[in-house]
Amino acid sequence: MFNIRQVLKKNYAIIVPDDAPVTRIPGWDNANVKVLAAPCMGANFVEYLIEVKQAGKVVVPLQDRLEYVFYILKGKGILEKEGEDFKLEEGSYGYLPPKMAWEITGASEEVMKFLLVKKVYEPVGSKLPEMIIGRNRETPEVKISAKRSIKDFIQWSEDILYDLSWAILYFEPGSGITHVENHIHEHGLYMLSGYSLYFLDDAWHQTVPGDFIWMAPYVPQSCQWYGEERGSYLLYSNRNRDALI
């Protein structure tokens, strides 16, 4: 018998990347790519799980409308942007606005594994957000409640130009979200640590590290973490924009 945890509904999905096939993308040399979320499943963004070795690379040409965020799960690499290099390590993250050509290259024999999200930027006037490059270990962890905290990698609440958030949420053992949320924001969650029961729409689902969850706007959601390990996930969400008609 199979222990089937993969789920695809019209308003949410649970993806188990270990069971997903590898795909190749033109221009992304020696990169093993797994697509975790895409418009064909109902999402309004694309999220990739990517592995590259030394000389493997992800190359993104200048584009007018697309923005990206990334997070290095393990390994080392280099981000090159218009002749400028940035060293990447486990826990490095970044925001890359439209109208910018860039590439990420593996920098060691060890596999570099990272998450990459792209979406269509929703402009506010003619000004674009600034590029962000940072490290998890240098980013402050802020308490949300007694047993929940967050590291925000994009200060979207302070700058209306940013139309997304990219953050890690932390849950102390035995804690969770004590109510059912229901809101306009779409989510992509990559589970980093701990074990949880996640409530989505009308059902509970078990999650483990490495799982991915897509949540459409307004899907009822909550979670409860169990075991002795602190729980955490990397969260993408759209922000700071009006609903379209």
Q: Is the pLDDT of residue 234 over 50?
A: yes
The DSSP 8-state label assigned to residue 219 in this structure reads -
- The answer to whether the CB of 86 falls within 8 A of the CB of 77 is no
Q: Is the pLDDT of residue 229 over 50?
A: yes
Predicted pLDDT of residue 38: 98
Domain ranges of the chain: 20-136, 142-238
Question: CA 228 to CA 223: how far, in whole Å?
Answer: 16
CA distances to 28, 87, 94, 181 from 211, in Å: 24, 27, 22, 20
Residues 153-185 pLDDT 10s: 999 999 999 999 999 999 999 999 989 999 999
Predicted pLDDT of residue 236: 98
Q: Which of 111, 113, 66, 72 is nearest to 89 (CA)?
A: 72
Instruction: State the CB neighbour count (10 A cutoff) for residue 108.
Output: 11
Tokens of 213: 């969850």
Homologous superfamily of domain range 20-136: Jelly Rolls (2.60.120.10)
Homologous superfamily of domain range 142-238: Jelly Rolls (2.60.120.10)
Tokens of 169: 């949420």
Tokens of 156: 């979207």
| Domains 20-136 and 142-238 fall in the same CATH topology | yes
Chain-centre distance for alpha carbon 150: 14
Across the range 192-209, mean pLDDT stands at 96
Q: Is the pLDDT of residue 129 over 80?
A: yes
DSSP assignments along 1-16, one per residue:
------EE-SSEEEE-
Predicted pLDDT of residue 53: 85
DSSP assignments along 87-134, one per residue:
EE-TTEEEEE-SS--EEEEE-SSSPEEEEEEEEE---BTTB-PPPEEE
> Would you place residue 1 in the very low, low, confident or very high pLDDT band (cuts 50, 70, 90)?
very low
pLDDT above 70 as % of the chain = 99
Contacts of 126 (CB under 8 A, 6+ apart): none
Global pTM value: 0.96
Q: Is the pLDDT of residue 187 over 90?
A: yes
Average per-residue pLDDT for the chain: 95
CA distances to 75, 76, 83, 90, 134 from 108, in Å: 8, 6, 21, 13, 20
Q: Is the pLDDT of residue 2 over 80?
A: no
Residues 84-121 pLDDT 10s: 999 999 999 999 999 999 999 999 888 999 999 999 99
Residue 228 bridge partners (DSSP):
none
Question: CA 133 to CA 176: how far, in whole Å?
Answer: 30
Element (H, E) at 53: none
Predicted pLDDT of residue 3: 62
